[in-house]
Structure 1
Amino acid sequence: MSADDALELGRRVAALREVRGMSLRALAAGAGVSSSFLSQLENARTNASVASLRKIAIALGVSPAQLLDDKLAHTRGVLRAADRPTLPLEGADKYVLSLPPLRNLEVYAGHFAPGGSTGADFYTHGQSQEMLVVTAGEIVLELGDDRYTLRADDSIEFLSSVPHRVVNESSAPASVIWINSPPTPVEDAHTT
């Protein structure tokens, strides 16, 4: 690898790490390499083996090719609708739009058949600021003791720590987008 290539690789690793909000130590720990090695790599003072590059790429949530292609350093690329992870609900589907590792936002899209819901139980998750945007149809957000009817292009912001659920009480399909900031820690998803 030439000195210029090493410099570019180091810049891409650093850029991807920063985009994901990872510290040098966090990435090193996730990749199973030392912090000093990672620092030297980012500063073009050392080269990495194929095995090390693969570990770093996995820890960053990218392919090894993305570490070597500067056009992909600032994006994870297109997430095709057919490739989105799906969370089946009661008469509804919730699609993951933001892939890990998450930095500041957690984003989902949802489609609700008539009568569909996020489930019979109210749920909470973390202490996030949550935004619910209706993109088609009509849904009801049950938030604590309150009920809000939202139609296409309506939105509501609330705390994810307040028990809530979403239901489509209409006779037509509905679609929504959920945005949470910061992302919900895995251990903080609860039903009530």
Structure 2
Amino acid sequence: MPRARASRTDGLNGAGSQQASGVGPRIKALRTARSVSLRQLADMIGTTASFISQLERNLCGANTPTLMKIAAALDLGINDLFEDNGRPPHKVLTREHRPVVPVGVGGRKMLLSRRPIHEFEVYAGHFEVGGSTGAEAYTHGGDHEMFIVLKGTVELTLGDESHIMGEGDSVEYATSTPHRTVNVGDTPAEVLWIIAPPTSGAVELDQYRPGNRSHPGE
């Protein structure tokens, strides 16, 4: 089955946040340690060697699904792209040091779960007024996801259904259900995603198909 080609619109958007995390040089170190060339990695995730090179040099960023595909191609979890395994296993992750990846327009996603946790993933999300996960609903794998609103008012679309959710509201669904989040309130919104088992640990590279959502990567 042909893999989805990454779009040219997003990879350049989140460079600043990922520079702080050092994800680009870490991807390069992990790739070279596995003797995978730029071209090979690009072919595996459906993008170009030029994009991978820019990402590794922190000249551009990549969103969560693109990082998931890179991790899967290197037989890693997404945590491995951000973490130095020499760190103490119970080191406190402060808010300002959360690994950040761009998501949609006016939003960002922050990875909270880290090694040695393998059973689930937790992401915090922040959306400015009108911010969203993107223009279209998306899917990722066939895992189980819980969505919780921590602050503000958001509209969560699940398939053909739409739900207006406020602080403290939550819902569970399969990650194979097309879903989209948009801040419909008049203040910034904060949300939480809990995924089990981790999508990044078992993601198939051809799961991101046209019709689900174009996940930018170059």
After TM superposition, give the deviation of residue 172 of structure 1 in Å.
1.4
CA contact (8 A) 1:102 1:183 kept: no
CA distance in 1, matches of 2:152, 2:177: 24
Q: Counterpart of 1:83?
A: 97
Q: Is 1:109 matched up with 2:132?
A: no
Q: Percent identity of the aligned residues?
A: 43
- Letter of the 1:187 partner, please give it: E
Q: Is 1:128 matched up with 2:151?
A: no
After TM superposition, give the deviation of residue 102 of structure 1 in Å.
4.8
Q: Counterpart of 1:155?
A: 170
After TM superposition, give the deviation of residue 101 of structure 1 in Å.
6.2
1:127-161 deviation line (CA, Å, top 9, x unaligned): 11100000001111111000011100010001100
CA distance in 1, matches of 2:91, 2:120: 17
CA distance in 1, matches of 2:159, 2:192: 20
1:106-141 deviation line (CA, Å, top 9, x unaligned): 100011111000011211111111000000011111
After TM superposition, give the deviation of residue 61 of structure 1 in Å.
5.8
- Letter of the 1:93 partner, please give it: R
Q: Counterpart of 1:164?
A: 179
Higher relative contact order (CA 8 A, sep 6+): 2
CA contact (8 A) 1:62 1:76 kept: no
CA distance in 2, matches of 1:128, 1:168: 24
Bigger CA radius of gyration: 1
- Letter of the 2:85 partner, please give it: V
* The structure with more helix, counted as a fraction of residues: 1
Q: Secondary structure at the match of 2:139?
A: strand
Q: Counterpart of 2:62?
A: none
CA distance in 2, matches of 1:102, 1:126: 19
CA distance in 2, matches of 1:98, 1:182: 12
* The structure with more strand, counted as a fraction of residues: 1
Structure 1 residues without counterparts, runs of 5 or longer? 1-30, 33-57, 67-74
Q: Secondary structure at the match of 2:136?
A: coil
Q: Counterpart of 1:37?
A: none
Tell me the TM-score normalized by structure 1.
Answer: 0.60
1:175 pairs with one of 190, 200, 205: 190
RMSD: 2.5
CA distance in 2, matches of 1:76, 1:126: 29
2:161 pairs with one of 146, 149, 158: 146
CA distance in 1, matches of 2:110, 2:148: 14
Q: Is 1:62 matched up with 2:85?
A: yes
Q: Counterpart of 1:10?
A: none
User: Alpha carbons of 1:102 and 1:119: their partners in 2 closer, same or farther (altered >3 Å)?
Assistant: farther
- Letter of the 1:161 partner, please give it: S
Q: Is 1:187 matched up with 2:204?
A: yes
Structure 2 residues without counterparts, runs of 5 or longer? 1-32, 35-79, 214-218
